[in-house]
Amino acid sequence: MPQLGVNIDHVATVRQARRANEPDPVWAAALAELGGADGITIHLREDRRHIADRDLRILRETVTVKLNLEMACEPEIVAIACQTKPDQATLVPEKRQEITTEGGLDVCGQRDRIARTVEQLRAAGVSVSLFLDPDLRQIEAAARLGADAVELHTGQYSLAATDAGRQKELDVLESAAAAIRQAGMALHAGHGLTYRNVRPVAAIADMHELNIGHSIIARAIMVGLEKAVREMKQLVE
């Protein structure tokens, strides 16, 4: 059965919209744990647009399940990761202009940089996952670097608009998953997974971890809004 990593970046995004103290991703992580999350995922971006250094520091102390830090191969962030020691680092490409992570890492094209980062993190005792498109060349390169896991980018699958298109993307994910398994790496997946499209991906053999953010936080707003309004209405009255 795959483990569920809950990405709570969006909670920090709402906080940063007002540069306020709430909502606090530290509270959100505790509630996600109560809901059964097997892991808490955060992305400490170079521009700190949502998750802040303080969040990582406190979450490292409070999270009792797996803490997974998404991060770019940037020296400043690598140093923070080596010092803070999340249970796992997921290396992702990062562009300043992007709204969210757009594609997988280019391990073939940036081998030395990624290899150096993998080595540093592993030396600090941090398990390393690489976020990759379902591309066999990239998966082979990841295996050669000694990555512990590969997180398959499910973006193309989630964007498919027809059953046939979804099945085609699922076949691509299945082939990539087989290659990851054969290389002895753990199989993770994420990006764009929703309540509607998650099941076939969760059913891929040996799927170990799914990282899901947007859809869970979007639903949390919907299922929580009525209660929140009722509580405020009581105070107002």
Residue positions annotated with a catalytic role: 43, 70, 191
Report the distance separating Cα 100 and Cα 110, nearest Å: 21
* Binding window for ligand PXP (CB under 6 A); candidates: 20-28, 79-87, 116-124, 205-213: 205-213
User: Does residue 213 bind ligand PXP (CB under 6 A)?
Assistant: yes
Distance between CA atoms of residues 124 and 74, nearest Å: 16
**155 neighbors 192 (Cβ within 8 angstroms):** yes
Residue 121: both structure tokens together: 């993190």
Within 30-49, the residues that bind ligand PXP by CB under 6 A are 43
35 vs 231, beta carbon nearer ligand PXP? 35
Nearest C-alpha neighbor of 93 from the set 126, 117, 70, 68 = 70
Which residue number, 16 or 215, has a Cβ lying nearer to ligand PXP? 215
Q: From the list 190, 201, 209, 220, which residue makes contact with ligand PXP (rule: CB under 6 A)?
A: 190
Question: Which lies closer to ligand PXP via its Cβ, residue 120 or residue 157?
Answer: 157
Instruction: Give 63 or 133: the residue with its C-beta nearer to ligand PXP.
Output: 133
Q: Among 40, 72, 92, 204, which residue interacts with ligand PXP (rule: CB under 6 A)?
A: 92
Q: Is residue 191 left, alpha or beta, with left meaning phi > 0 and alpha meaning psi from -120 to 50? A: left
191 binds ligand PXP (CB under 6 A): yes
**Member of 83, 100, 175, 182 binding ligand PXP (CB under 6 A):** 100
Give alpha helix (H) positions in the chain.
9-17, 25-34, 53-62, 75-84, 111-123, 136-145, 155-159, 163-182, 198-202, 214-236
